[in-house]
Chains A and B, each alone.
Chain A
Amino acid sequence: MPLQHEHEFLVTGSHDEMNRQHYVSRLRMHILNQIGAGMRGVYENRVKPKFKQTNGRVPKNEHEIRKAMLADSYGKTWSTMMVNCQDMVWESVRPAIERAQPGLNEKVSRVKATHGSIVLNSDVKVPRYLAGADIHRMPGNYHTERATDDVTQGALYDRGRFVYNGGAAGPFADGIPRTMAAYIKARWPDFKPKKILELGCTIGTSTVPFVDAFPDAEVHAIDVSAPSLRYGHARAEALGKPIHFHQMDAEALDFEDQSFDLVYSCIIFHETSRKAYPKILEECKRILKPGGQMIHTELTPVANMDDFDAFYIDWDAYYNNEPFYQTYTSLDPEEWVTKAGFEPSKFFQASIPDLDRSPPDVFAGAVRNPTVADRKAARVGESAKWYTYGAWK
């Protein structure tokens, strides 16, 4: 697994702290890929037969499976390890970032906007779906301000997310957006967006690959979380990437109608709400120019999965502070995209093989022949396919 690229503002830690972080990554991958991989066998060979014996039938949905699996010792052990390891991720990066402060905030506040820009707007309210829960148990979420001009949450996310992924998304933690950008270029080679917008960019890890893929385009990125945006702006400047960051709510964008050629997001909807989701899709439609493209990578809808996988993927909803996760995965993207005003014939969806983790011919095949995977596709380290959907205006 690669080491993380160290830009000027990244906080890693001391000798021992870094090794602790690297260990936590391996432990997490082990829990996910080795212990987690045993969950289905435990279900089929032990939990399901026992359920059948007691109830005279097999579990009828993911909820019954969850109850039965969490009554099993293997399910309990896996679950407690998952929760604890999630907390170990944040705990492994916390001390070094606390030590780096307030120096880090001061360093970031001195950054000059030479390549891109940043516009903050303190009138933007943090929506309840972010304010109400520390998603992924990340202490303080993306938005908490702990001082004036604070970037703490951005620093925590940058290093913590890398530890969480165990490097599986590459040195820049950008496997998904790099895959998306490469897919767009390969599948629609004549599409040359001049103005691009990312929704929910956090620290811009998912913005940079679009700058690289479309060097002639003007790239904008929005988020509601100021500490993440400040940090992301500093990071982009350190990397020499022209990105224009704005503090905005995706439900009510300040951009003019028909002002972008491409609008995209990378795993943001499942962290919003049932009310916000359609509003954001409508905003995408509004700000797109005719002929423009909207594209989102997200969790695979559970309708595409069997009940066991649905239980497995929705586990996070219950135990990893993902309050909208389960409702989101139950929605049909095609239905909502068309409700937002896109033509049904202009809708598309595909499960895209991860650029780094699949052979080139597999990626090329998925471009020629787009299909949607029928099994879980979005869990780190498990399957190297990303469910992506969108529409042309």
Chain B
Amino acid sequence: MRNQGFNWHDPILWAQGLGVSVGVFAASMILGSLIGIFIALCRVYKVPVVAPLLLVISEFLKNSPVLVQLFLVFFGVPVLLQVNITPAEAAIFTLTGNTAAFIAVIAISAMDALDRGQLEAARSFGHSERSILRKIIAPQALVVAMPALIGLAVNQLQVTSLISAIGVIDLTKVGQILNQRTWQPFIVWAIIGVTYFVLSRVLAMAGGRIENRLRRHMDWAGL
């Protein structure tokens, strides 16, 4: 299997790895956002027991290496709960938790940044908490949070490369496979690196677009 050179199948392998990386990234980003927002709301509305508990968990997730978290979930959970878990499941589970922890922090500080007076005004006019959240808090908090969210997304995309360590065949794993077979590390890792780079740029640009669009309405909001 040494020095076999590239073949026609390699682009397909690359595309599959890309698909897995993007898939894990998207799944963990979406699920993580939902859970992170939930944590933030528990915290902001001071839900007893749940809020502090979730906060402890999210502190752990923020302050320990993702690779360690992956190992803990992939090797630890099957032993602890006597269940089988595929590498991909472990990867999505771990990255979702990790993303949620960061989203929660971003969401909490974005909501804290809003002026309390307008919330009192909204309450005094009889808006329900739900509609205050939807119509007053969320749109403003989103604008405030946008730069941090873009930064997080780009970072989490890079973090997905760690899932190759538990055997998920993502873009990085594909790089390892091709590298071992072809012994062309400079070519292989350059291609893999450029792929991540392009993905990150696309993400950042798309995020920037959305941010600009949101801001256009709010240039005068003083946010």
A-B interaction: no
Q: A interface vs B, CB < 8 Å?
A: none
